Amino acid sequence: MIDAYLGLGSNQNAEHNMRSGVTALRARFGQIDLSPIYRSPAVGFSGEDFLNAAARIRTDMSVGELKRWLTELENQHGRDRSQPRFSDRSLDIDILLHGDKVGEFDGLELPRDEVLKYAHVLKPLADIAPDLKHPVSGQTFADHWLNFQGDRSLEALA
């Protein structure tokens, strides 16, 4: 069993889809660690604000198996894959880290580069794994957040 860290986001029926996505993760993986949920502006396009969070799961699934399972979960929530990369999402769940893997696995580059680029990915991850070290930089996620130079436009939801 390894720890995998996931980034969750939605800006279409966001509260429902985030709640339903978390429920599905708990049903499949049992106990999960979930960050606070943040509201953030859409990145790369003009759209409704997103709700974002991070989750830690314990799994014995390979990267490819987990990726396929998450894709099916997104599809069940109405994910439209015909849209551009930066577009509205009913539910988007990305594998951010899968153990300490570094490199390309089943077509997915790990760790995801978005982790250090966007506040809506880094802050939730730093919330649930502040002392975890980024497998490439060797710095903790708390330190990465402390030194983050990008747009910090996030609103924590109660």
Q: Please state the domain count of the chain.
A: 1
- The domain that holds 135 is classified in CATH as 3.30.70.560
What is the per-residue pLDDT across 120-135, written as a single tens digit (0 to 9) for each? 999 999 999 999 999 9
What is the per-residue pLDDT across 25-64, written as a single tens digit (0 to 9) for each? 999 999 999 999 999 988 877 789 999 999 999 999 999 9
pTM: 0.94
Evaluate if residue 77 carries a pLDDT over 90.
no
Contact 56, 128 (CB under 8 A): yes
Structural domain of 115 = 2-156
- What DSSP character marks residue 40? E
CA triple 27-109-87, angle to 5 deg: 70
Contacts with 141 (C-beta within 8 Å, 6 or more apart), sequence order: 122, 125, 126, 129, 130, 131, 132, 133, 134
